[in-house]
Copies of this chain bind each other. A is one copy, B any other.
Amino acid sequence: MTATLIDGKAIAARMVEEVRAEAADLAARGWAPRLVSISVGDVAAAELYVRNQQRQAEAAGVAFEARNYPATISLEQLTGVMIGLNADPRVNGIIIQRPLPPHIPVKALQKAVHPLKDVEGMHPSSIGNIVYNDLALGPCTAVAAVEILKTLPLNIEGLDVCVIGHSEIVGKPIAFLMMGLGATVTVCHHMTRQVAVHSRAADAVFVAVGKPGLVTGAMLKPGAALIDIGINRVEGKTVGDADFESCAKVAGWITPVPGGVGPVTVATLLKNAVLATRMQMDHYSAAFAVER
């Protein structure tokens, strides 16, 4: 192995430190940040995940209320819940836990979250604001992957970047975040004729497809950075989309799975929580100042 292993946990810990300071400052102004998590039905796997989020949020000074609704709730009822949370100034961010039952389309619910409370960065206007290069709430996984790249000693302006996977909430947002930073970005996906042609020309490769072993060392330029966003279960182990062994021999930097993008994603959610709280505080202050 020649690649430097990227320590996602250390990056996350630094981010959480900043969140804690910001949360304390907001609390001192009467705006202690508070998240509400919505899950629907009896989902044991998700519950573990939610409890982990809650523990990390509270450790960073972000209050966290986990709500679970029965699988029989209708979309209309759940939308009503969202409207209430949107209007409640004591709620600063709304998290919609997946999976949802088939009769609750996740996109309809995401659109019901007020953009100022969209800490997951999934609302169409959040995505659009990123395209417009506005400092806004970005999709957590995409923002986390880019934050990791920013810790490396690379000049991002003019950097040739290859993004493998073009999902709306990971691949595409990574592409426009990197464009906003000045990189030259190519987005590959299942219809791309020769992924290796593009990945081998890139200084940094992001992969977010969900196929273990998709990226091999032969597909990388020697010394490139490889950010692996995949999370797959193989023979009881969690692995990414890269064949770690062969990639680590060629890459300059590589993220492990687990311990790479994962922890930074949770830290990004908390960063969005304090960012959203500050935006709401400023929004209320501005409205108040106008009325005087």
User: Does the CB pair B133–A168 fall under 8 Å?
Assistant: yes
Q: What's the Cα separation between A183 and B158 when bound, in Å?
A: 22
CB distance from A140 to the nearest CB of B (A): 16
* List of B residues within 8 angstroms of A186 by Cβ: 184-187, 198
Interface: A200 (CB within 8 A)? no
CB distance from A77 to the nearest CB of B (A): 15
* List of B residues within 8 angstroms of A157 by Cβ: 191
Q: What's the Cα separation between A115 and B192 when bound, in Å?
A: 33
Interface string of A111-143 (1 = CB under 8 A from B): 000000000000111111101111000000000
User: Does the CB pair A184–B187 fall under 8 Å?
Assistant: yes
Interface: A211 (CB within 8 A)? no
Q: What's the Cα separation between A168 and B132 when bound, in Å?
A: 6
Interface string of A225-251 (1 = CB under 8 A from B): 000000000000000000000000000
As for how many copies of this chain the complex holds, the number is: 2
Q: Which residues of A does B touch, CB under 8 Å?
A: 107, 123-129, 131-134, 157-158, 160, 166, 168, 172-173, 175-176, 179, 182-189, 191-193, 197-198, 201
* List of B residues within 8 angstroms of A124 by Cβ: 124-125, 128-129, 131-132, 134
Q: What's the Cα separation between A24 and B201 when bound, in Å?
A: 52
CB distance from A98 to the nearest CB of B (A): 16
**Chain B, Cβ-Cβ closest to A203:** B193
Cβ-defined partner of A189 (8 Å) among B173, B179, B189, B192: B179
User: Does the CB pair A179–B187 fall under 8 Å?
Assistant: yes
Cβ-defined partner of A125 (8 Å) among B107, B125, B133, B187: B125
User: Does the CB pair A128–B133 fall under 8 Å?
Assistant: no
Cβ-defined partner of A127 (8 Å) among B128, B182, B191: B128
- Once A132-B107, A168-B133, A184-B187 are accepted as A-B contacts, the answer to whether A158 and B125 lie under 8 Å apart by CB is no
Cβ-defined partner of A131 (8 Å) among B127, B183, B185, B192: B127
**Chain B, Cβ-Cβ closest to A166:** B179
- Once A127-B131, A128-B124, A166-B179 are accepted as A-B contacts, the answer to whether A193 and B188 lie under 8 Å apart by CB is no
**Chain B, Cβ-Cβ closest to A126:** B128
Return the 9 tightest CB-CB contacts between A and B, nearest first. Answer: A124-B128, A128-B128, A127-B128, A125-B125, A186-B186, A182-B191, A184-B192, A124-B125, A158-B191
User: Does the CB pair A184–B193 fall under 8 Å?
Assistant: yes
Cβ-defined partner of A184 (8 Å) among B126, B129, B172, B188: B188
